Amino acid sequence: MKDNVLYGKQTSAALANFPFNYHRVLKEFVYAIVQIKKTAAVANFKAGKLDKKISDKIVKACDEILTGNYDDQFPVGAHHGGAGTSVNMNVNEVIGTLADAHPNDHVNASQSTNDVNPSALKISSIKLTEKLLDSLNYLISTLDQKSKEYAKVRKLARTHMQDAIPTTLGAEMGSYRDILKRDKMRIIEAIKYFYELNMGGTAIGNSINAPKKYIDNFYPELRKITGIENLKPLKNMMTGTSSDSDFCHLSSAVTILCNDVSKIALDLRFLSSGPMGGIGEISFKELQPGSSIMPGKVNPVIAESMNQTYYLVNGKNVSIHQAAEGSHLELGVMLPIIADSLLMILRISEKAMRIFADKGIKNIVVNEKRCLEHLEKSTAYSTLLTPRLSYDVVSSVVKEAVKTGKTIREIILRDKLLTEEEFNKLLITK
């Protein structure tokens, strides 16, 4: 072991046993564990398990770590075995060295990896989800602005990639806005379960070595230290030790959000195709050259990055669900990959929402002339005309339009089936 490290033999063993070329345990997770250790030191003192001097020294060590000055002392890789014992002991050992305390007897008193790590994941997830919701609200607000800005931009709606009926670009943007509002509600519902922790459950949730007085003092102190209100113990702590379904719920909700954002991005890529040889109803302001060989080419790079964000997030979501299924008997032993995957999902998604709003949605350039041209040349008006002219009459008009290349408007006015004024009135739609 190097002379300048604060961790001990268990951390060193983890580094030797899991030398994967992978990033370290994420800082948000480590800091949440440190906050739990600080809370436990206070609760253990009040329960009579630690004397005041040791408790105060542990609290001070935790505060020093939370300043960020000791980040290099947490080298354990995010990909490791043992249900997360390695990272729990890494934190215990560093605090123990700083506080001149025993990592197990003092720092880990009344605790187990099996209640510390799931609780730390919930705490860190709550904080990251708050950031995600802020960014999602920003994207929703941006789409709302566009729905108003484009409210009068008439265009062709498409189903099955084929001409359908008239709509407006504002209506499309409003639909996207409300899709994301529903996704937001799913995330809010999922995060509710994260306020119930199994701290005090220790190894399997039956609270062995955790006095009732310790548990009673732990939660009020944790709420104060984390700044998260409503943190409380699970009614049955064994459920929080043996099941990781709460993490699956949030992961799925965020994955659905990314799925919808990817769908929106795909729609925008389709509408921006061309711009001369495709749909070309919208385009994006150039952010970077689109090609190393084709001059002047502009690619929808932000929309493409949203698609790839979904692919990445969905892959991690699958990992979480499979790892949760591996929670055999009384313990979710696959928590390390769950923790890393969930926190990465939240990190990536939060950033994606803001990027999509600022560099995607706000960078849309609308070609109103092209929108109207596609609408007028399509068969979209046929559905609106049917109640007035009958299905059969309109069908014959559509067939002629497709065969001759004439517009439905031209044929209707030519045959005096409607006047110009009557035709236009029928086209008023949302």
List active site positions.
Answer: 291
As given in the structure block, the two tokens for residue 321 are 């669900």
Nearest to 88 by CA among 175, 198, 10, 200: 10
Cα within 13 Å of Cα(269), Cβ side: 16
Within 150-200, residue ranges assigned H as helices are 169-191
CA distances, 202 to each of 36, 112, 211, 325 (Å): 13, 5, 11, 21
* 33 strand-pairing partners: none
Contacts with 392 (C-beta within 8 Å, 6 or more apart), sequence order: none
Q: How far apart are CA 328 and CA 346, in angstroms?
A: 26
Nearest to 92 by CA among 132, 65, 72: 65
* 233 strand-pairing partners: 197
Q: Which helix (H) or strand (E) holds 301?
A: helix 301-325
Nearest to 124 by CA among 318, 346, 354: 346
Summary count for the chain: helices (H), strands (E) = 16, 6
Contacts with 258 (C-beta within 8 Å, 6 or more apart), sequence order: 306, 309, 310, 313, 314, 349, 352
As given in the structure block, the two tokens for residue 380 are 């979209």
Q: How far apart are CA 263 and CA 258, in angstroms?
A: 8
Contacts with 252 (C-beta within 8 Å, 6 or more apart), sequence order: 190, 317, 321
